[in-house]
Structure 1
Amino acid sequence: MEHLKETNAERVFLVACQLPNMTDEQFEASLEELEALTLTAQGTVIDRLTQKREAIEPATYIGRGKLDELAIKMEEQEADLVIVNGELSGSQVRNLTNRLGVRVIDRTQLILDIFAGRAKSREGKLQVELAQLNYLLPRIVGQGQGLSRLGGGIGTRGPGETKLETDRRHIRKRMADIDKQLKHTVKHRDRYRARRERNQTFRIALVGYTNAGKSTLLNRLTASDSYEEDLLFATLDPMTRKMRLPSGMEVILSDTVGFINQLPTTLVAAFRSTLEEVKHADLLLHVVDRSSEQLQAHMETVSELLHQLEVDQSQMLVVYNKADKPNLPIIPVHQQNGIEMSAHKREDIQRLRQMIERTLVDLFTPYVTELASDEGNKLAKLRRETIMTEMKWDEDRECYQVKGYVHPNHAWAEQLLD
């Protein structure tokens, strides 16, 4: 990232208001996160301006005195861009831009910009564009003086119709087009998911705050090549890979987009179909950055977003990742039921696999069965689809004696549990 800073990185001034419902610690953490988001978007933060207020100034977000101070500082430091740590209305953006003479964006727009740059798949790009248009549509009115009456003459322009109305119509048409394309993609994914459900493969989903290390964990557990970097939202497009447990059982492991505090509602809505993978998972792995001072707040944010998505959180393991870093914060006693580990340590990855398998044993039903010597294919399938704990050849009966655990809803259960 040093190279990015030295070349075409924009010089960014951060602006934030601390309201009464935020502690000093929460406010500072939010600003640090905004700075990290700016870095991810390839910007360089040159300074910040903060103000404690009872409420946001409706016209300009910050007060008039602070706005004058900001204008002077920005001119002195030759800032290219202002990023506000909140969500601005169209009129606030217009007023700030007119006063400061540079572009002004808010936290939501910054996150949308990062998502637009990170999305690689066609579906991911469409979802981000839909979120951007959803964000833009109600703010167009803030860019002009108001709309004239709708016209109905030749074409759709009509007498007196402004470009603003044309823009709104174009945006709505594009949104409808994207929605249609995404519905087609969702149908394809639903068919793929239905096939997996018919095969009754156990599904595990990685969830967590952005930059907690989910993609790194996916790579280490499955030997895949998901993009990983120490940046916020390093991975956007969901990945699904096979993972083998110590017993030989194969499960499906899915990575998901990282969550973040104040995640734009337009993004939650746009990515809802992608996040359906989480909703259909049999087990969640909640990956937490063990080294973060905001560990507790991050966990609460993830839990709240999962609740919004109506995801069952009863079957969930907490993975405290990055435990190899120094000066770790204390984990609250009521949350010390997870596993502390580093995704970069092979022995920790093995411990996690073993913990996942032990969790499945608790969810599954024990079985004992016999297989004839010519049922090798069935034996191999049993190893892949159940947790086989013991297999030995019985000389007297000339068969394999097999013990293990099977998911009670799996097709095998009917045969093994008679």
Structure 2
Amino acid sequence: MLTGKHILLIIGGGIAAFKSLDLIRRLRERGALVTPVLSKAGEAFVTPLSVSALAGTKVYGDLFDLTDEAEMGHIRLSRVADLVVVAPATADLMAKMAGGLANDLASTLLLATDTPVLIAPAMNVRMWDHPATQRNLATLRNDGVDVVGPNSGDMACGEFGPGRMADPLEIVAAIAARLTTGPLVGKRILVTSGPTHEPIDPVRYIANRSSGAQGTAIAQALASLGAEVIFVTGPADVAPPEGVEVIRVQTAQEMLGAVEDALPVDAGVFAAAVADWRVADASDRKLKKSKDVMPRLEFAENPDILRQVAQAAENRPRLVIGFAAETHDVIENATAKRLRKGCDWIVANDVSTGSGVMGGTENTVIVIDDKGCENWPKMSKTEVAKRLADRISQALA
């Protein structure tokens, strides 16, 4: 998704600058061209040599480099990129951007550019919470600057809270979303995928045969059409897609929490095969075999994520899509499920023994809505995903 895209990466001064090295590697893996600008403060944390080696090109740092400035280098650098990324964006850099200062190469580039800008803030939690930083953040957002992060967590200074720079893959996803064009640009879509694992004890769990392949393909197809995708996945067999925000969970209750945190969204695609039940009192110790006594497991019903979202009084997506994996009476059971859950569409398929759907590469689905049934021929899960993504884009147009 980033092949041939030109990223001007400004590396600010902070301990999070070491993450910029991994960010460069991740961007180049995806075909992006990276031109790095290393601030003087940034040089205290990463070396120009390491940045240059990973980027495969020259590192810029001096505003008054005579060779480059003879060609107005700071103007050229600020205009040729598809996106300017500031990572880490320190409190000082954000203040310079908001105030229009230009006393070094990084701030001069940011003032001289007409290219879209994405920042990944990183600083101490008190600095982030300070009214001055929040005023600067509001100014930058009003100026059209995109922001990814910061995340909460332990700080290098020993404190805890918001201020950690977003992880490199999160920044890559934000970059891809900013540079992607398509009919779903500006749309925020939630996709759940994979199985859930409901613990019995620390080493055993209840699960199903879902590989997560179909949900992953759907998330990728939606992202390729320009959507901002929040991908909530259980422990799937396949790697998560590129260019999306990935939230990993284990249990149905964790998945529900992640879904609620992601709302509001324009559409929700609930492709996850969520376990219907969990062990009511999972053991914190491994259950031991006994010749005389079999362990007795008491079950509790898991939350019905699809129904809760589809029937919500607030933050209900415009389009809610459920999935029905059936072994018999597919259309009848799936139609009843759509009405019972309150979702707009149900994507039904036959997962009976011998169908090859669970864990396979192909699928045969029936899309059911209030107008009836639409039978799709057997095709790869990637093609199913593309066709469904096109249908979603038409519905949200």
The answer, yes or no, to whether TM exceeds 0.5 is no
User: Higher Cα Rg: structure 1 or 2?
Assistant: 1
Q: Which has the higher helix share?
A: 1
Alignment TM-score, normalising by the size of structure 1: 0.30
